Amino acid sequence: MNRPNVFHRLLLAVLAALASPAIRSDGQYPEIDALFADYGAATPGCALGVMRDGEFAYRQGYGMANLEHEIPIASSSVFRIGSTSKQFTAAAVALLAEQGKLRLDDPMARYFPEFPPWADGVTVMNLVNHSSGIRDYLQLTWLQGLVNDADYYSDDYALELLARQRETNFPPGTEYLYSNSGYLLLAHLVERVSGQSLKEYAAANIFGPLGMANSHFHDDHTHIVPGRASGYAPREEGFRISETTLDMVGDGGVYTSVDDLLFWERNFEVNRLGGGDELIDRLTTPGFFSDGRPMDYAFGLTVETYRGLDVVHHGGAFVGYRAIFMRFPTERLAITLLCNRSDAEPEARAFAVADVLLSGRLAPPGVTADSATDFPVEESELGRYVGDFWNEEEGFAAETALEDGKLWAVHSPERRNELKPVGENRFVMLDVPARVVIDFEVEDGRVTGMRRTINGKPRGAFTPFQRRQATPGELRAYAGSYYSPELATWYRFYVDASRLLLKLAEVEPMVLTPMFEETFEHPDWGAFEFERTADGAVGGFRLQSGRVRNLAFERR
């Protein structure tokens, strides 16, 4: 998406002002406040900023920044913003490219000679737009058993782990798969090229020039942050503190405030960082796959449409923090939402705020549970949609079940979401922060496939399968110890009470469910595809786990 010139920006601003009276002179928005009515004096919450034409039209705090000291959230409260940080890392890379210190088509190997030969095929741009195929280091460390907020490891540990990977998830440039590893590597690329840490470079070249005095990359977890909102996660009664000891930055790690993000928003309209309009065009123009197909991901920002309007945004989620930065460029409107609770859904709430402010400009919504008319389906008819479904591309299974006369998407025994019928063989998923539509393919009254759409975009095709029933004797063929050289980690499988269990370090034993042929699954760990040797013995397996594909384990 190209940035409009000065004349077009002025014209769009006038038209937006005439068409959308939602920005009010009295600064009162009870409809917006109602969206946050569940965040009160006894809970963590969110700071909201609404910006129009480079100024605040509304800013408000909902809930508490610190429960122990009863400090309310304000627009000046400083939050960790998780992956919303990626746009600042990408901006640092773009600035270095403007300065001639790197090229976006440079091979990664030029800056990381310690990596395997596959790094020759990964470009800097592949790292920026998540088309590198590099396995996600957060998922890799999770698979090592580092699953708790307090688990600590260093940058060097993460880089050595990535350098041990024998292959990428897919050939670079051919697919999009979100990877925190790419942005961790970009942080080190900035340091190797500029001689400054990402924290130092961003302070001198982004935050400082823009006047973002309360923003920084947090590469030392012991660093005191004035005005910090504490991170929280819900538990059975109340909340617990949810922070991290990790010092990695690039993929995340920025602390900032709603007040500071006003200066960042202004820079999209009048760039003060060098490079003029070309820099802003670069930051907001999506990339392309190696075969020329367009992407919707630019420089740490997703570029798409929402109900007929262009929107540029990026969310973040880590430990007890959630955040989103969202711009409607043709409306000269930005919405920022920074939250200090892990159950917050900032993207859904930010779009709900946009629905209020842009009510006269938005096209009718797509299929949602709220907008759809009732489409009653008899319980006996719902039964046809019950079953197990396999997504070959992403390597995971989905399950549907019928309970209390309703169809449910079952993610695990503890997690499930109702599927509400909204049309012929069409359902929407309830209680999720996105518009998830499920379409079943039916032939002669039998389900032959399932397609998932998220926020209007296809996100996976599923094939029904019949779960395998395995006897204890069959399960014992998989028992034993397996080693991954890439993880430098052992997995031990054993049989107990007709179940195959996985034991890893200090992690509670996990039950693996038989699927089909030699494949087992765990809802949080992924799909285990066991492989047999020429003599029929189980010799190893490959693990498909979200942002990590084809991770090999050898039986020893």
| Same domain, yes or no: 418 and 531 | no
Report DSSP state, residue 144.
Answer: T
Instruction: Indicate whether 449 and 543 sit together in one domain.
Output: no
Lowest mean pLDDT among 36-45, 106-115, 188-197, 372-381: 372-381
Torsion of CA 207, 213, 219, 220, to 10 degrees: 170
Distance CA 141, CA 143 (A): 5
pTM: 0.91
DSSP state of 169: S
In a domain, 368, yes or no: no
Mean pLDDT of 233-237: 94
Give yes or no: residues 347 and 408 share one domain.
Answer: no
DSSP character at residue 380 = H
> What's the pLDDT at 425?
95
Domain boundary among 465, 495, 527: 465
Q: What is the percentage of the chain residues whose pLDDT exceeds 90?
A: 85
* Number of other residues whose CB lies within 10 A of the CB of residue 254: 29
Calculate the CA 444 to chain-centre distance: 38
pLDDT (0 to 100) of residue 18: 38
Amino acid 95 reads: L
SS3 string, 474-538, reads HHHHHCEEEEECCCCEEEEEEEECCEEEEEECCEEEEEEEEEECCEEEECCCEEEEEEECCCCCE
Cα 451 to Cα 115, 439, 518, distances in angstroms: 38, 5, 25
Tokens of 532: 């047999």
Is the domain of 430 the same as that of 495? no
277: which residues sit within 8 A by CB, 6+ positions away? 3, 271
Residue 21 has a pLDDT of 39
pLDDT tens digits, 122-139:
999 999 999 999 999 999
Domain end position, chosen among 436, 465, 494: 465
394 and 478 belong to one structural domain: no
- Both tokens of residue 539? 């010799």
Give the pLDDT confidence of 501-550 residue by residue, as tens digits: 999 988 999 999 999 999 999 988 999 999 999 999 999 999 999 999 99
* 489 and 458 inside one domain: no
The total of other beta-carbon atoms located within 10 Å of residue 445's CB is 7
Examine residue 348 and state whether it is found in any structural domain, yes or no: yes
**Chain segment 410-452, per-residue pLDDT in tens:** 987 778 999 999 999 999 999 887 889 999 999 999 999 999 9
Q: Which is nearest to 245 in space by CA: 84, 80, 134, 86?
A: 80
If one counts the domains in the chain, the total is 3
| Identity of residue 431 | D
What band does 16 get if pLDDT is binned at 50, 70 and 90? very low
Residues 6+ apart with CB under 8 A from 45: 36, 39, 61, 62, 63, 64, 73, 339, 340, 341, 344
The residues, any chain, with a CB within 8 Å of residue 422's CB and separated by 6 or more, are 367, 369, 372, 373, 375, 428, 437
Residue 307 predicted with pLDDT over 60: yes
Task: Examine residue 369 and state whether it is found in any structural domain, yes or no.
Answer: no
Task: Assess whether 434 and 489 both reside in one domain.
Answer: no
Cα(119)–Cα(122) distance, integer angstroms: 5
Helix H or strand E encompassing 540 = strand 538-545
In a domain, 117, yes or no: yes
Which of 465, 493, 519 is the endpoint of a domain? 465
* pLDDT for 84: 98
Assess if residue 373 is contained within a domain. Answer: no
Range(s) of the domain holding residue 415: 379-465
- Over residues 369-410, the pLDDT tens digits come to 565 667 889 888 999 999 999 998 888 889 999 999 999 999
Ramachandran angles phi, psi of 79, nearest 5°: -120, 145
